[in-house]
Amino acid sequence: MRLKYIISVLTICILSSASFGQEALGMGAKLADKIVGQIGDEIVLLSDIKARELQMLQNGEPIDANTECLILEELLFEKLLVNQAKIDSIEVPDDMVNQEMEARINQIAAQMGGVEKLEDFYGKSVAQIKAEFFEQIKKRLLAEQMRDKITENVRITPKEVEEFYNGLHKDSIPYINSKVIVSQIVVYPIVSLEDKKKTQDQLNNWREEIIGGVKSFQTIATLYSEDPGSRLNGGDLGWQSRGTMVPEFEAALFALEKGEISPVFETQYGYHIVQLLERKGDNYHTRHILRTPQVSDKALMRSAELIDSIHKEIGRGTISFEEAAMKFSDDDASKQNGGLIVNPYSGDYQWDIQNLNDIDPQMSRTVNSMKVGSYSSPALYDNMFEQKKGIRIVKLVEKTKPHKANLKDDYTLISTAAANAKKQQVIDKWVNSKIGTTYVRISDEFLKKCSFKYQWVKVG
C-alpha cells in the first residue's frame, strides 16, 4: 500500500478486554451465563471470563487449568478500581470515551475485513455497537485513571534502581539486542513540470475512459496503478476511517458522492484518481489509481553529481556530515537533527537492529558492514514510505553489542522496570486495604478451585 497509514499503538485489541458479550464466543454459541464475582455494585459474569479466555486463544497465549482463576482476579481488580473511582468522583468525559471507542472499532473492523463484516458478525450497526459498549469503555478508562491516581506519587531513586537490579535472578535479566544510531543525507531528483503533466494527462485520459464506459476502473487499476497494496484488487482499498489516509486523499474523497470519481489530485506519493464506493459517517470504502511521475535520467544524474560532491567535501573535512545533512539533505524528518533518524518505536535515536530491518532493510544491510564513525558511498535509495527514489549517504554513529541488560548501558530500561515494580507494591497495598472495606462476593465454584494473589474473601 502506498498511502501512508497513521499507525497508533493500541493496548487493547477488542472493544473491551473485559467482555465482548456472548457474541465474542463466536458461531452463535449460547452460554448459560451467571454472576461469578461482585465488587460493590460491579459484577463479573462467567461470559466475561470466557470472552477474555477466547481473546487469549486468538492471540496465541497459553491456556491451562488456572487460566480462568487468573482472569477472574484480573476482572475483580478492574471492578475494584471502577468502584473506587466512583466513590472518589473521578470522571471520564464522553468525548474521551467516544474517541477510544472509535479507535477500537476501527481496529476490529480492519482485522475483520471492513465495517460491513463487523456489522454482519454482530448483527448490529456500528452505531448500535457503540451504544452497547459505551459504558464498558467508560469503565475501563475509569479504572485506568484510578490506577494512575494510586501510583501518581511513586518516585524511584538511583539507589532503588541499583537495589532492584542487584536483586534480580541472573536468569531473569533480559538480553538486549544490538542497537545502532544512524544518520543519513538524502538527495531526491527534481521531477520536471513536463513529467508531472504527462502523468496528470495520463490519469485524466483514464478517468474519461472510465466515466465513458470504455474501460472499467478495476481493469485500469490492475494494469497500471503503482500501488502494490491495492493494484491486484482493482485499486480497492477496503473500508477505512477518517484520519487513516493523508489529508489530500481524504479531502478529495469526502468531496465525492457515492460512485463518483475524483478529478486528478496530488499527494506526496504521486497523482491519483479515487472513486467513492460507499461511506458511513467517518468510515469509507474507496478504490484508487496511483501513478508517480518518472524521474528522468538527466535529473537522476544531477542528483548523483550533487551528492557525490557532498561526499567528497565530507571526506576532505571541509564540512562535517552533520552540517552537510542540515544544509543539503532533502529528508525533512532527519535534516534538522544533523541527519539522525528517529526511531518511531521508541521516540529516540537508538534502533534495535531488528526494528531497523523491518522499516528500512536497505539501511540495515548497509550498517551491518560499517564501522562506528564511518559513512557509506552514495547509493540509490528507495523510500518505501513516500515512494521516492533518491541517492543516500549513511553514517553509523553508534553501535552496541548484544548483551545482558546492565546498569551502565541500560539504565533507563532498568529504571522503568524498577519503577513498575514499586508501583505494583503500592497497588498491592492499596488492594489489600480496600478489600476490607468493600463488599466482595465470589461464587463457591471459583472459591473452591482458585488460589488468588489477594485474599478477596475473608475465611473464618
Is residue 272 scored above 80 in pLDDT?
yes
What pairs with residue 187 in β-bridges? Answer: 391
Q: Does domain 22-152+420-449 have CATH number 1.10.3720.10?
A: no
Instruction: Give the mean pLDDT of 201-229.
Output: 94
Read off the amino acid at residue 312.
K
Contact 322, 183 (CB under 8 A): yes
Instruction: Give the mean pLDDT of 212-217.
Output: 95
Q: Of the given ranges (154-163, 190-199, 353-362, 417-426), which has the lowest mean pLDDT?
A: 353-362
Instruction: Give the mean pLDDT of 414-432.
Output: 95
The confidence score (pLDDT) of residue 280 equals: 85
CATH code for the domain defined by 193-291: 3.10.50.40
Task: Give percent of the chain with pLDDT exceeding 70.
Answer: 91
pLDDT greater at residue 438 or residue 383: 438
Is residue 455 scored above 70 in pLDDT?
yes
Instruction: Give the mean pLDDT of 243-255.
Output: 91
199-214 pLDDT, tens digit each: 999 999 999 999 999 9
Q: Of the given ranges (7-21, 132-146, 171-185), which has the lowest mean pLDDT?
A: 7-21
Is residue 17 scored above 90 in pLDDT?
no
CA distance 314 to 161: 43
Is residue 98 scored above 70 in pLDDT?
yes
The confidence score (pLDDT) of residue 108 equals: 75
CATH code for the domain defined by 179-190+296-401: 3.10.50.40
Confidence grade of residue 353 (pLDDT, cut at 50, 70, 90): confident
The confidence score (pLDDT) of residue 459 equals: 60
Domains 179-190+296-401 and 193-291 fall in the same CATH topology = yes
Confidence grade of residue 282 (pLDDT, cut at 50, 70, 90): confident
Is residue 1 scored above 50 in pLDDT?
no
> What is the chain's Cα-based Rg?
28
The confidence score (pLDDT) of residue 113 equals: 66
Is residue 355 scored above 90 in pLDDT?
no
CA distance 349 to 395: 13
CA distance 312 to 309: 5
The confidence score (pLDDT) of residue 32 equals: 62
Edge to edge, the sheet with strand 265-267 lists 236-241, 283-291, 270-280, 265-267
The confidence score (pLDDT) of residue 116 equals: 72
Q: Where are the domains of the chain?
A: 22-152+420-449, 179-190+296-401, 193-291
The confidence score (pLDDT) of residue 16 equals: 38
Angle at CA of residue 135, ends 133 and 141, nearest 5°: 105
Is residue 11 scored above 90 in pLDDT?
no
The confidence score (pLDDT) of residue 276 equals: 96
Burial (Cβ within 10 Å: 0-12, 13-18, ≥19) of residue 152 = exposed
Contact 40, 438 (CB under 8 A): yes
The confidence score (pLDDT) of residue 368 equals: 86
pLDDT greater at residue 100 or residue 198: 198
Give the dihedral sign, CA 23/25/29/32.
Answer: negative
Confidence grade of residue 111 (pLDDT, cut at 50, 70, 90): low
What is the phi/psi pair of residue 296, to 5°?
-75, 155
The mean predicted confidence, pLDDT, of the chain is 86
pLDDT greater at residue 381 or residue 76: 76
Nearest residue to 391 (alpha-carbon basis) of 300, 292, 309: 300
135-148 pLDDT, tens digit each: 889 999 999 999 99
18-49 pLDDT, tens digit each: 333 333 333 334 456 899 999 999 999 999 99
The confidence score (pLDDT) of residue 24 equals: 39
| Residue 339 neighbours by CB under 8 Å, 6+ apart | 183, 184, 185, 321, 322, 324, 325, 326, 329, 395
User: Distances from the Cα of 159 to the Cαs of 144, 165, 244, 303, 411, in angstroms?
Assistant: 29, 10, 45, 54, 12
The confidence score (pLDDT) of residue 190 equals: 87
pLDDT greater at residue 7 or residue 289: 289
Instruction: Give the mean pLDDT of 267-293.
Output: 91
Is residue 359 scored above 90 in pLDDT?
no
